[in-house]
Structure 1
Amino acid sequence: MSQPATILVIDDEPQIRKFLRISLVSQGYTVLEAATGAEGLSQAALNKPDVMVLDLGLPDMDGQHVLCEFREWSTAPVLVLSVRASEAQKVQALDSGANDYVTKPFGIQEFLARIRALLRQAPSGEARQAAVELGPLIIDLAFRRVLLDGVEVGLTRKEYAVLAQLASHPGRVITQQQLLKDIWGPSHVENSHYLRIVVGHLRQKLADDPTSPRFIATEAGVGYRLLS
């Protein structure tokens, strides 16, 4: 017999979590719960749920931010469950990587049907690693930490974003245009000097010599690759 699917519910309302837990357990699912975004990301990294159910109005961080962080290292389906019903909120969540969006109040039968649909669509391969290790360098994508020889490296938001993008596809070339589009936005795809400056700072902090790189290799005229 196959293992029951694991559903992670991230919602700060105890009554909603209890209602979903009872409903999902009755269908044979294993249920994990979190009341904050940080707790939810920790649960996701440790337990690798098959589906995440995510509220947007969390006490410690916006659910959109949780979604973006989760998508840096996992391809597991995400169902947003929120009172936010505007088209703009839905579009933002779907563009950030959500697979489905249900507004509160909701019908439990429709909710369960959407969970079943997401499980059918779930990728069959392994999700991206929550942490990437390259000898002395550890890139913890789940907790947004970078360690070199056991010491945490302080990175700016852009520096971390570039490194995380490369770490999500170790050994694969990521083009300059893709990095600029994903990190700076579509209007900056021609501003390659932004990227060169950030990569230069990254290399300094990682003690990575560009002429003999240990971690980040330049593919001339194309982009960058994290050596695996």
Structure 2
Amino acid sequence: MRSHGWSLCHGTCGCRAECRHVLVCDTRHLSPDHRLAMAEADRPAWRLILLGVEDPAERARLLNLGCAEALPASTDNFELQARAKRVSDMFGMLPRWRSFGPLTLDLFHRDARHGARWLGLHPREFGVIWRLADSPGERVSRKQLLKDVWRINHDPETNSVEVHVSRLRTKLADAGCEGLVATAPRGGYMLSESSQFLLGSTSGEQDALDAYLRDLGWVKEPSD
């Protein structure tokens, strides 16, 4: 694919493909269960192209799971690069991902990931952190959250915002990100500008996709 202008990315910190690029995997040597585990690890796997899937029923199952493509090993280079370009072009349709320190926010999945772990956010919990990520370190008032996340222009005189923020903080703390959502001095909330979160870290936890990337031998390990 290099002849068509593609290049190889080594990812970030050696743990999964944290970069926002098409991920083409030659899976001829893997079992159907292993391929399924890889797709589930990246679910919904809009960037994942699995080669070497010979059974049409298995290809259909992987596509239904969310894989960008599931193709037989005989797929020629011209077709592969055309399909990869289509997947890559989809990334520019809307800002699917946002990264903040060790967290990756996924708009399609409406959840946050810390390494290989999904936090399991409620839609409004995700809406709150996505809105705060519009301007990290800047105050977002309760009124603004009601307008942008709850889509209401009046105060319902309930503590719904506070309850969802509290639940969000609990899930962040369980993932090792305690203190990420801070209360602003003048009320409202903001994402912390602490270097602990700005620099971030990558979890050592691995899933089936991480293991596949490491086994290839070209993934860069994190430096000490």
> Greater RCO between the two (CA within 8 Å, min separation 6)?
2
Which structure carries more strand by proportion? 1
User: What is the TM-score normalised by the length of structure 1?
Assistant: 0.43
User: What is the TM-score normalised by the length of structure 2?
Assistant: 0.43
